[in-house]
């Protein structure tokens, strides 16, 4: 196995991009990444594209070829592969690209993610996202995606000391970070009151506990570490890549409030890298809902079960805390174009490790982690990056 490095990154601004089509979103991100890596299109050996549901959002399948075509690479005939695992499609695309380079099969590989969600009405979008859970036995009876995480939150708050205010603080913190991120969908700070006064979506979760519907794309370029300096002075090493699965339904989990797939992928990643949670300078976790960030912090091992609410309240996970969580603004404030999110997490960590994160820079960041969840925890991808 070869060591792998990220040599370039690019990301579109996230938001409701009425003027931009699916394919142009991707091309914008890809061009930024190639430019950053100083790589010419014809040097690319392969592409992996994370995308949850172009079929339902824009009625387009076969997007591997579509994207290679519009990237101007049709005549190069490179392999271009779509990767799908609901909201963790991006994280899995990144992992497939890492595997391709590490194995020696390919050298210069693009890992990208794209989702164009606003070309359908909100109801249709909610229904498409429900497909990340079990359509036959969750969606059929009226379970929405926020509804499933709400049931997780009800269980968690029944068993552990988490206040409604601590949960709201997750969103407040992520909006603070988003306000310092030029690509974030929401660049406004909010207060706990903003969250508590927003409308209920699925009790106890309110509108400001939920990540938004977003258009966006992100791309990163990978190369074998030994070739990385041909392209960049600031390669970022992939120290670990781990992935785990669990039951598709929330109701079949061993423990509703613990994402066992996060625990498994996290442990494996730490083991591969030879690191512990104490070694991590910042982490991008999958905060599709505020409760998801609480669980992620605990399930990755940054604190014990039941302690993440207090940790958040005490500012430990804030930008200047000892373990900054979601410096990008997370899914909550930066936005959540589902297939692109896993790649955007890598984009954020790479910017931090290069010292290019501007107003949200974590000083002296050397090691960062990404945590990308599909569904309510049926798929999890964890990566550790370092300089």
Partner 1 sequence: MSVARFWRKIPQRYNLIGTQCTTCGRYFFPPRTFCPECRRAGNIVDHKFRGYGTVVTHTVIRTASEQFEQMTPYVLAIVELDEGPRITAQIVCEPEEVFIGMKVTPVFRRIAADGESGVIHYGTKYVPAE
Binding mask 318-337 for partner 1 (x = CB under 8 A): --------------------
Q: In this chain, which stretch among 20-28, 99-107, 194-202, 320-328 interacts with partner 1, using CB under 8 A?
A: 194-202
| One residue of 18, 19, 40, 142 binding partner 1 per CB under 8 A | 142
Out of 112, 151, 218, 333, name the contact with partner 1 by CB under 8 A.
Answer: 151
Q: Among residues 40, 75, 199, 278, which is the contact residue for partner 1, using CB under 8 A? A: 199
CA 357 from chain centre, in angstroms, equals 17
The sign of the CA dihedral 320, 321, 324, 327 is negative
Residue 252 binds partner 1 (CB under 8 A): yes
Specify the residue, 75 or 199, whose C-beta has the smaller distance to partner 1. Answer: 199
Residue 300 CB, nearest approach to partner 1 (Å): 23
Identify the residue among 10, 90, 91, 147 touching partner 1 (CB under 8 A).
Answer: 147
377 is a site residue for partner 1 (CB under 8 A): no
Residue of 152, 171, 220, 380 interacting with partner 1 (CB under 8 A): 152
Cis amide leading into 204 (omega within 30): yes
Window of 3-11, 121-129, 162-170, 364-372 that interacts with partner 1 by CB under 8 A: 121-129
Rounded to a whole number of angstroms, the minimum distance from the CB of residue 243 to partner 1 is: 19
Q: Which of 16, 107, 119, 155 binds partner 1 (CB under 8 A)?
A: 155
Q: Rounded distance, CA 258 to CA 147, Å?
A: 17
255 binds partner 1, rule: CB under 8 A: no
For 142-151, b where at least 16 C-beta lie within 10 A, e where not — what string?
Answer: ebbbbbbbbb
b/e string for 181-215 if b means 16 or more Cβ within 10 A?
bebbbbbeebebebbeebeebbebbbebbbbbbbb
For every residue of 304-321, DSSP letters joined together read: -TT-HHHHHHTTTTSTTS
In the complex, what is the shortest distance from the CB of residue 253 to partner 1, in angstroms, rounded to a whole number?
A: 9
Please state, in angstroms and rounded to a whole number, the distance separating the CA atoms of residues 95 and 103. 12
- Which window, 175-183, 246-254, 289-297, 326-334, contacts partner 1 (CB under 8 A)? 246-254
341 vs 211: CA distance, rounded Å: 11
Q: Min. distance of Cβ 146 from partner 1 in angstroms?
A: 7
Q: Are 372 and 93 in contact (CB under 8 A)?
A: no
* Residue 143 lies near partner 1 (rule: CB under 8 A): yes
Helices (H), the chain: 22-37, 54-57, 63-68, 89-102, 122-130, 145-159, 164-178, 192-196, 225-228, 260-273, 290-299, 308-313, 330-334, 338-353
Q: For residue 141, which of 249, 253, 256 has the smallest C-alpha distance?
A: 249
Selected from 1, 19, 75, 123, the binder of partner 1 by CB under 8 A is 123
Interacting span for partner 1 (CB under 8 A) from 93-101, 130-138, 221-229, 318-326: 130-138
**Residue length, the chain?**
387
User: Among residues 74 and 124, whose Cβ is nearest to partner 1?
Assistant: 124
137 binds partner 1 (CB under 8 A): yes
Among 203, 226, 230, 356, binds partner 1 (CB under 8 A): 203
Told to check if 254 binds partner 1 by CB under 8 A, we report: no
Residue 115: partners with Cβ closer than 8 Å, 6 or more residues away: 51, 52, 53, 54, 57, 214, 215, 216, 217, 337, 338, 339, 340
Q: Verify binding: residue 144, partner 1, rule CB under 8 A.
A: yes
Pairing of strands 4-11, 216-224: antiparallel
Encoding tokens for residue 55? 């079929």
Residue 251 near partner 1 by CB under 8 A: yes
Active site amino acids: 87, 336
Residues lying near partner 1 in the complex (CB under 8 A) are found at 123-124, 126-127, 130, 136-144, 146-148, 150-155, 158, 199-205, 249-252, 256
């Amino acid at each position: 196995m070869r060591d792998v490095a990220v040599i370039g990154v690019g990301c579109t601004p996230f938001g409701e991009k009425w003027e931009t089509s699916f394919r142009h979103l991707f091309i914008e991100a890809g061009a930024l990444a190639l430019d950053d890596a100083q790589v010419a299109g014809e040097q690319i050996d392969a592409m992996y594209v994370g995308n949850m549901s172009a079929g339902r959002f824009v009625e387009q399948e076969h997007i591997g070829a579509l994207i290679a075509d519009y990237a101007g690479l049709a005549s190069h005939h490179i392999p271009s592969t779509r990767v799908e695992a609901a909201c963790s499609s991006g994280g899995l695309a990144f992992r497939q690209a890492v595997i391709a380079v590490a194995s020696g099969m390919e050298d210069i590989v693009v890992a990208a993610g794209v989702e164009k969600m606003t070309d359908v009405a909100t109801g249709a979008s909610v229904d498409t996202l429900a497909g990340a859970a079990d359509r036959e036995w969750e969606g059929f009876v009226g379970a929405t995606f926020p509804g499933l995480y709400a049931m997780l939150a009800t269980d968690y708050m029944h068993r552990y000391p988490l206040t409604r205010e601590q949960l709201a603080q997750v969103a407040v913190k992520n909006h603070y970070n988003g306000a310092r991120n030029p690509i974030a969908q929401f660049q406004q700070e909010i207060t706990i009151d903003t969250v508590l006064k927003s409308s209920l979506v699925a009790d106890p979760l309110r509108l400001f506990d939920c990540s938004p519907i977003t258009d966006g794309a992100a791309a990163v370029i990978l190369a074998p570490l030994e070739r990385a300096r041909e392209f960049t002075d600031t390669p970022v090493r992939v120290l670990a890549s781990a992935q785990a699965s669990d039951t598709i339904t929330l109701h079949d989990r061993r423990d509703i409030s613990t994402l066992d797939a996060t625990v498994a992928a996290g442990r494996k990643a730490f083991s591969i890298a030879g690191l512990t949670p104490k070694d991590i300078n910042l982490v991008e976790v999958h905060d599709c809902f505020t409760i998801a960030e609480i669980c992620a912090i605990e399930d990755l091992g940054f604190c014990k079960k039941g302690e993440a609410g207090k940790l958040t309240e005490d500012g430990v996970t804030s930008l200047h805390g000892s373990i900054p969580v979601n410096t990008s603004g997370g899914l909550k404030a930066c936005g959540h174009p589902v297939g692109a999110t896993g790649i955007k997490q890598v984009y954020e960590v790479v910017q931090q490790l290069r010292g290019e994160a501007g107003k949200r820079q974590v000083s002296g960041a050397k090691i960062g982690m990404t945590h990308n969840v599909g569904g309510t925890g049926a798929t999890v991808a964890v990566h550790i990056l370092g300089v």
